[in-house]
Amino acid sequence: MPLLVSIATAALVGAGVWLILRAQTFPVILGLMLLSYAANLVLFASGGLTVGRAPILIKGVETYPDPIPQALVLTAIVIGFAMTAFVLVLALKARFALDSDHVDGDPVEPQEGR
C-alpha cells in the first residue's frame, strides 16, 4: 500500500512540475492543481493509511486513523480552490493587459509557435 500511494504522489508531482514549466498560463495552472493534489496526498499520507475505519467515534472501537492530517487537508482543499481561482484570474488579467497568454507576457513568438 505505501508503495502504491508513493507512486501516485510521484506521478502527480512529476506531471505537475512538467506542466508548471510550460510557457503558457493555462498549463501552469493545471500543473499547480496537480501539485496541490500531490501536496494534499502527502499530507494525508503522513497520518498513515487505514482502510475501512473513519475517524468517527463508535462505541467499542479503540483504534482510529489519525484525524489531524485529515483536518489539515480538508481546509487545504478549500484554500486550494481559492488559490486556483486567484491564479486563474491573474492569468486572465495578464492576457487582458498584455494581449498574451505567455507566462512572461511575451508575444507568442513564431519561433516558439512553429
Residues 40-69 that bind other proteins (CB under 8 A): 40-42, 44-58, 64-68
Instruction: Report the b/e string of 85-103 with b at 16+ CB within 10 A.
Output: eeeeeebeebbeeeeebbb
Per DSSP, the three-state class of 14 is helix
What residue has cell string 502527480? Answer: 12
**Minimal distance, residue 40 CB to other proteins, in Å:** 8
Q: Any contact of residue 32 with other proteins (CB under 8 A)?
A: no
**Minimal distance, residue 79 CB to other proteins, in Å:** 6
Whose CA is closest to 32, among 48, 21, 23, 43?
21
Per DSSP, the three-state class of 106 is coil
Site size toward other proteins (CB under 8 A) is: 87
Phi, psi at 52, each rounded to 5°: 70, 30
**Minimal distance, residue 22 CB to other proteins, in Å:** 7
**Minimal distance, residue 95 CB to other proteins, in Å:** 6
Report the site for other proteins in 64-93 (rule: CB under 8 A): 64-68, 70-71, 73-75, 77-86, 88-93
